[in-house]
């Protein structure tokens, strides 16, 4: 999660220092529902319980930035 925060922060810092770049920059936030997934790992805890780590889940939240150059049909997202 720290890499994503760094990339998003770097993009926003670049946008703040370059007005022309900031013109095509927009925030992106989203949510998706996921299902399925498999149990990747079962860990036995010291107190006698177990904890599982699985792929997939119910909710995926994300945020980042999108850059679209003026008059361009292509955009780039960092989430």
Model pLDDT, residue 42: 92
How many domains does the chain divide into?
A: 1
Q: SS3 sequence, 21-39? A: HHHCEEEEEEEEECCCCCE
Which domain covers residue 68, as residue numbers?
2-78
Spatial distance between the Cα atoms of 30 and 46, rounded to a whole number of angstroms: 37
Tens of pLDDT along the chain (79 residues)? 567 677 777 766 666 665 655 677 888 899 988 877 788 899 999 888 998 888 777 888 889 888 888 888 898 888 8
pLDDT score of 25: 82
Q: What is the pTM of this model?
A: 0.46
User: What was the pLDDT predicted at 48?
Assistant: 86
- 3-state class of 63 per DSSP? strand
């Amino acid at each position: 999660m720290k890499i994503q925060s760094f990339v998003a922060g770097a993009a926003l810092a670049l946008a703040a220092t370059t007005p022309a770049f900031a013109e095509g920059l927009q925030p992106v936030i989203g949510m998706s529902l996921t299902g399925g997934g498999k149990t990747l790992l079962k860990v036995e805890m010291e107190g006698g319980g177990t904890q599982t780590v699985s792929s997939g889940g119910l909710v995926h939240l994300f945020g980042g930035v999108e850059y679209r150059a003026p008059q361009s049909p292509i955009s780039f997202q960092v989430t």
